[in-house]
Protein backbone atom coordinates (compact mmCIF):
# COMPACT_ATOMS: atom_id res chain seq x y z
CA UNK A 1 0.00 0.00 0.00
CA UNK A 2 1.26 3.43 -0.93
CA UNK A 3 1.71 5.97 1.90
CA UNK A 4 2.01 9.69 1.36
CA UNK A 5 5.20 11.17 2.75
CA UNK A 6 5.20 14.63 4.26
CA UNK A 7 8.00 16.73 2.83
CA UNK A 8 10.71 17.63 5.34
CA UNK A 9 9.87 21.33 5.13
CA UNK A 10 6.23 20.64 5.95
CA UNK A 11 7.19 18.37 8.86
CA UNK A 12 9.53 21.04 10.20
CA UNK A 13 6.83 23.70 9.89
CA UNK A 14 4.30 21.52 11.72
CA UNK A 15 6.82 20.72 14.45
CA UNK A 16 7.55 24.44 14.97
CA UNK A 17 3.83 25.22 15.10
CA UNK A 18 3.24 22.46 17.65
CA UNK A 19 6.13 23.73 19.77
CA UNK A 20 4.74 27.26 19.60
CA UNK A 21 1.33 26.05 20.83
CA UNK A 22 2.97 24.05 23.63
CA UNK A 23 4.91 27.18 24.64
CA UNK A 24 1.65 29.15 24.83
CA UNK A 25 0.23 26.52 27.19
CA UNK A 26 3.42 26.65 29.30
CA UNK A 27 3.25 30.44 29.49
CA UNK A 28 -0.40 30.32 30.52
CA UNK A 29 0.40 27.76 33.24
CA UNK A 30 3.40 29.70 34.54
CA UNK A 31 1.27 32.85 34.71
CA UNK A 32 -1.37 30.97 36.71
CA UNK A 33 1.29 29.67 39.10
CA UNK A 34 2.77 33.16 39.45
CA UNK A 35 -0.64 34.69 40.25
CA UNK A 36 -1.32 32.01 42.87
CA UNK A 37 2.07 32.49 44.53
CA UNK A 38 1.83 36.28 44.44
CA UNK A 39 -1.63 36.15 46.02
CA UNK A 40 -0.33 33.84 48.75
CA UNK A 41 2.62 36.14 49.45
CA UNK A 42 0.36 39.17 49.73
CA UNK A 43 -1.95 37.33 52.14
CA UNK A 44 1.04 36.15 54.22
CA UNK A 45 2.39 39.70 54.27
CA UNK A 46 -0.96 40.95 55.57
CA UNK A 47 -1.13 38.28 58.30
CA UNK A 48 2.39 39.13 59.46
CA UNK A 49 1.64 42.88 59.35
CA UNK A 50 -1.47 42.38 61.48
CA UNK A 51 0.49 40.23 63.92
CA UNK A 52 3.23 42.86 64.31
CA UNK A 53 0.81 45.78 64.64
CA UNK A 54 -1.33 43.98 67.20
CA UNK A 55 1.49 42.38 69.17
CA UNK A 56 0.24 43.96 72.38
CA UNK A 57 -3.36 42.88 71.76
CA UNK A 58 -4.57 39.36 72.25
CA UNK A 59 -4.68 37.25 69.07
CA UNK A 60 -8.33 36.42 68.36
CA UNK A 61 -7.45 33.66 65.90
CA UNK A 62 -7.13 30.35 67.76
CA UNK A 63 -4.79 28.87 65.16
CA UNK A 64 -1.08 29.43 65.54
CA UNK A 65 0.82 31.61 63.12
CA UNK A 66 2.45 28.62 61.43
CA UNK A 67 -0.92 26.96 60.87
CA UNK A 68 -2.41 30.17 59.45
CA UNK A 69 0.47 30.55 57.00
CA UNK A 70 0.27 26.89 55.98
CA UNK A 71 -3.48 27.29 55.40
CA UNK A 72 -2.84 30.24 53.11
CA UNK A 73 -0.31 28.24 51.08
CA UNK A 74 -2.61 25.24 50.87
CA UNK A 75 -5.61 27.36 49.78
CA UNK A 76 -3.64 29.18 47.12
CA UNK A 77 -1.90 26.20 45.58
CA UNK A 78 -2.75 25.50 41.98
CA UNK A 79 -1.14 23.46 39.27
CA UNK A 80 2.61 23.08 39.67
CA UNK A 81 4.20 24.20 36.43
CA UNK A 82 7.73 25.52 36.96
CA UNK A 83 10.18 22.68 36.41
CA UNK A 84 7.35 20.43 35.23
CA UNK A 85 6.24 22.14 32.02
CA UNK A 86 6.25 19.00 29.87
CA UNK A 87 3.96 17.15 32.30
CA UNK A 88 1.77 20.24 32.64
CA UNK A 89 1.29 20.53 28.86
CA UNK A 90 0.46 16.82 28.64
CA UNK A 91 -2.14 17.14 31.42
CA UNK A 92 -3.75 20.16 29.72
CA UNK A 93 -3.85 18.37 26.38
CA UNK A 94 -5.31 15.24 27.97
CA UNK A 95 -7.95 17.30 29.76
CA UNK A 96 -8.71 19.12 26.52
CA UNK A 97 -9.05 15.83 24.67
CA UNK A 98 -11.40 14.54 27.38
CA UNK A 99 -13.50 17.69 27.14
CA UNK A 100 -12.68 18.80 30.68
CA UNK A 101 -12.03 22.45 31.40
CA UNK A 102 -9.49 23.95 33.74
CA UNK A 103 -10.18 26.78 36.20
CA UNK A 104 -9.36 29.28 33.43
CA UNK A 105 -9.20 28.37 29.79
CA UNK A 106 -5.76 27.89 28.21
CA UNK A 107 -4.92 29.76 25.01
CA UNK A 108 -6.97 28.78 21.98
CA UNK A 109 -5.72 27.25 18.79
CA UNK A 110 -4.02 24.06 17.73
CA UNK A 111 -3.51 22.55 21.19
CA UNK A 112 -3.79 19.04 19.80
CA UNK A 113 -0.78 19.64 17.57
CA UNK A 114 1.49 20.26 20.57
CA UNK A 115 1.32 16.57 21.45
CA UNK A 116 3.06 15.56 18.21
Mean pLDDT score, 85-89: 89
| pLDDT grade for 4, boundaries at 50, 70 and 90 | low
DSSP code string of the chain: ---PPPPHHHHHHHHHHHHHHHHHHHHHHHHHHHHHHHHHHHHHHHHHHHHHHTSSSPP---S-HHHHHHHHHHHH-----TT-HHHHHHHHHHHHHTT---SSPPPPS-GGGGG-
Top-confidence residue, 79 or 68: 68
Instruction: Let me know the angle formed at the C-alpha of 36 by 81 and 29, rounded to the nearest 5 degrees.
Output: 30
CA distance 74 to 64: 15
Residue 56's pLDDT is what? 58
Residue 110's pLDDT is what? 43
Mean pLDDT score, 75-104: 79
Amino acid sequence: MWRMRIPEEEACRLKKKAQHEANKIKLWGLNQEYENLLGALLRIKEVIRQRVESSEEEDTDERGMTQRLEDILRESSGPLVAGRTKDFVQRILAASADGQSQRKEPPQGGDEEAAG
